[in-house]
């Protein structure tokens, strides 16, 4: 029987989580990805990415300082955010997030102290006055740089990095979990959501590191280290392939075999939001960078490679937007669609996101200035430059 319904009066479905939430999800994702890139060196001892390992760690730390500000901005009662620390709820993923967002930056900062300790010790040796005291403090009071201390720092850094890998996965995985548990929203409710978030986070994190490496890292000849960028390009390929595969699984099972509510909601993604979610997100921002990063000749057209990496960053942001905002535009009871156009100003406006990026840039530039993240000199160069030569020699003897 053909039924036609006209809704005359009903409650309107509103978009409750604003623009700041995709921004929060994006930044935590970048943090997790950047941490994993740093772990390639600090945990898995991969020498290829060593010149950007410290930088990645700083990115992981700084975006995670800026990210929670978005959450606070989105609260109805921002002044009560601290109550999350003592009003706990074991069944709420948001409650778990409080501990992840607190412990993870502490863990990264501890790791930074150990992996950068030798650098701080060197700076302390070369500085005077209050700066020397600060660097000595950052070097944990131990200004010696010897093979033994290097080994100790490396070992502790490795332990912290190893603990940090599941923490990084959890700190972003939980954001996908936040959405995945909401069964009232068909476009969120999938067990794949935490994994999709993690893999797409790898896309954004790797692409951002491609840009930061091109901007900030130089090899011995003062040139952009294209070998590292090529390596990151391959990582980008794998991440995009993973992302597209998971999307395929999600959409195909959901559309063809899932409950009616999902089957109803999915065409909305591909029809109403065709331009954003298909043309821009999957086409221009995922498939195009995939092709460029996959084929060497295209990848070696460096401006094209950098441009496609920028598109990949935008694409992941757009995915967060399409998921968080798009998922809410599909009403739970009402007919039609909810509309959402973010305001320019205000607590949850476009300028909040712009200022959040600005805050991150300030944190990032500040920490890259303070932290000795550039490639560490070898023990030989330490000896040559006369830093703690005696103690180094003594300790080296002792170690033998």
Partner 1 sequence: MDKSRRNFIKGLGATATSLALINTTEQALASSEDVEKGAVWGMVIDLRKCIGCQACTVACSTENQIPVGKFRTIVSTYEVERSGVPRRINLPRLCNHCKKPACTQVCPTQATKKRADGIVVVDNTVCIGCGYCIQACPYEARFINPLTRTADKCTFCLHRLEAGLYPACVETCVGEARIFGNFNDPQSEVSRLVSQYPVGVLKKAMGTGPMVYYIGLDESLSSRIQGEAVISPAGTPSDEEESI
**5 within 8 A of 324, measured Cβ to Cβ:** no
Nearer to partner 1, 2 or 390 (CB): 2
Longest dimension (CA), the chain: 93
By beta-carbon proximity to partner 1, the closer residue of 245 and 334 is 334
Could you tell me the CA-to-CA distances from 249 to 87, 93, 393 in Å, in that order?
37, 24, 59
Nearest distance, CB of residue 172 and partner 1, angstroms: 18
Q: Closest separation between CB of residue 28 and partner 1, Å? A: 16
Q: Which residues bind partner 1 (CB under 8 A)?
A: 1-17, 71, 74-77, 80-81, 83-84, 87-89, 91-95, 97-98, 178, 181-185, 259, 261, 264, 328, 331-336, 338-341
The C-alpha atoms of residue 388 and residue 125 are separated, in whole angstroms, by: 9
Q: Cβ distance 312 to 285 under 8 Å?
A: yes
- Please identify, using beta-carbon distances, which residue of 102 and 378 lies nearer to partner 1: 102
335 in helix, strand or coil?
Answer: coil
What residues contact 93, with CB distance under 8 A and at least 6 apart? 174, 177, 178, 181
* Nearest-approach distance from CB 348 to partner 1, in angstroms: 11
- Residue closer to partner 1, measured from CB, 20 or 388: 20
| Cβ-contact 395, 151 below 8 angstroms | no
Shortest CB 76 distance to partner 1, Å = 2
Which CB, 191 or 385, lies closer to partner 1? 191
Q: Find the Cα–Cα–Cα–Cα dihedral 81, 85, 89, 90, rounded to 10°.
A: 130
Name the minimum Å distance from CB 384 to partner 1: 55
CB of 191 to partner 1, least distance (A): 16
- CB 97, min distance to partner 1, A: 8
Could you count the other beta carbons within 10 Å of the beta carbon of residue 340? Answer: 15
Tokens for 20, please give them: 């700041």
Please give the Cα distance from 339 to 345 (Å, whole number).
18
CA dist 41 and 231 (Å) reads 13
Indicate the burial class of 156 (C-beta count within 10 angstroms; 0-12, 13-18, 19 or more).
Answer: middle
Non-local CB neighbours of 173 within 8 Å, separated by 6+ positions: 32, 194, 195, 197, 198
Name the residue nearer to partner 1 (CB basis): 52 or 325: 325
Min CB(101)–partner 1 separation in Å: 12
Residue 94 or 314: the one with the smaller Cβ distance to partner 1 is: 94
> In the bound complex, what is the minimum distance in angstroms from residue 397's beta carbon to partner 1?
57
Residue written as token pair 């893999």? 199
Specify the residue, 307 or 340, whose C-beta has the smaller distance to partner 1.
340
Do 175 and 31 contact (CB within 8 A), yes or no?
no
Give, as one character, the DSSP assignment of residue 18: -
Closer of 90 and 128 to partner 1 (Cβ): 90
């Amino acid at each position: 029987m053909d039924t036609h319904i006209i809704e005359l009066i009903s409650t309107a479905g509103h978009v409750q989580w604003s623009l700041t939430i995709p921004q929060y999800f994006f930044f935590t994702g970048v943090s997790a990805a950047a941490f994993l890139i740093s772990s390639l060196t600090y945990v898995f001892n991969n020498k290829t990415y060593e010149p950007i390992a410290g930088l990645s760690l700083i990115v992981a730390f700084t975006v995670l300082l800026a990210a929670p500000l978005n959450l606070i901005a989105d609260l109805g009662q921002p002044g009560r955010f601290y109550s999350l620390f003592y009003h706990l709820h074991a069944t709420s993923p948001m409650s778990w997030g409080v501990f992840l967002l607190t412990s993870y930056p502490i863990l990264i900062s501890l790791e930074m102290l150990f992996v950068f300790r030798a650098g701080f010790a060197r700076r302390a040796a070369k500085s005077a006055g209050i700066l020397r005291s600060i660097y000595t403090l950052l070097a944990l009071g131990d200004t010696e740089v010897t093979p033994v201390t290097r080994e100790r720092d490396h070992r502790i850094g490795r332990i912290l990095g190893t603990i940090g890998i599941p923490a990084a996965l959890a700190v972003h995985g939980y954001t996908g979990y936040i959405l995945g548990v909401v069964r009232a929203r068909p476009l969120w409710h999938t067990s794949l959501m935490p994994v999709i978030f993690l893999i797409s986070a790898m896309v954004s994190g790797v692409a951002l590191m491609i840009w930061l490496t091109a901007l900030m890292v130089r090899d011995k000849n003062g040139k952009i280290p294209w070998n590292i960028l090529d390596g990151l390009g391959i990582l980008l390929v794998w991440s995009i392939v993973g992302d597209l595969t998971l999307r395929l699984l999600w959409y195909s099972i959901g559309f063809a075999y899932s409950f009616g509510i999902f089957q109803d909601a999915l065409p909305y993604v591909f029809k109403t939001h065709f331009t954003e979610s298909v043309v821009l997100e999957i086409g221009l921002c995922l498939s195009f960078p995939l092709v460029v990063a996959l084929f060497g000749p295209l990848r070696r057209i460096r401006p094209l490679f950098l441009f496609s990496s920028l598109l990949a960053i935008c694409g992941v942001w757009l995915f967060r937007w399409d998921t968080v905002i798009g998922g809410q535009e599909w009403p739970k009871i009402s007919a039609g669609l909810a509309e959402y156009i973010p305001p320019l100003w205000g607590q949850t406006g476009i300028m909040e996101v712009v200022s959040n990026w600005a805050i991150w840039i300030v944190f990032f530039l500040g920490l890259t200035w303070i932290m000795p993240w550039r490639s560490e000199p070898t023990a030989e160069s330490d000896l040559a430059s006369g830093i703690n030569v005696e103690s180094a020699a003594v300790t080296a003897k002792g170690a033998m």
